[in-house]
Amino acid sequence: RVPEKTLPYPWESCIIAGGGWAWVHNAKYNSPTNVIGTLVDIVSKGGNLLLNIGPDPNGLWDPGAYALLDAIGDWMAVNSEAIYATKPIEPYKEGRVCLTQKKDGTVYAIHLAEEGQTRPPAEIALSTLQPGDNAEVVMLGAKTKLAWEKAGDGFRVTIPAALRDNPPCRHAWVIRVSSLKK
Asked whether residue 151 is assigned to any structural domain, the reply reads yes
What's the confidence (pLDDT) of residue 158?
A: 98
**Which stretches of the chain drop beneath a pLDDT of 50?**
none
Residue 88 in any domain: the answer is: no
| 107 shares a domain with 166 | yes
Domain boundary among 82, 110, 130: 82
1 belongs to a structural domain: no
H or E element in which residue 71 lies = helix 63-79
Distance (Å, rounded) from C-alpha 64 to C-alpha 41? 23
Q: What is the CA radius of gyration of the chain?
A: 17
Tally of structural domains, the chain: 2
82, 111, 130: which is the final residue of a domain? Answer: 82
- In-domain check, residue 132: yes
Verify that 18 and 70 share a domain, yes or no.
yes
Looking only at the bridges linking them, the beta strands covering 147-151 and 107-112 are: unpaired
Closest CA to 109 of 119, 99, 118: 99
Q: Are residues 147 and 105 in the same domain?
A: yes
Question: Could you tell me if 38 and 103 lie in one domain?
Answer: no
pLDDT value of position 13: 96
C-alpha 47/C-alpha 128 separation (Å) is 22
pLDDT at 70: 98
**Domain identity same for 57 and 117:** no
The CATH number covering residue 139 comes to 2.60.40.1180
Give the domain extent around 31. 12-82
Distance CA 140, CA 87 (A): 18
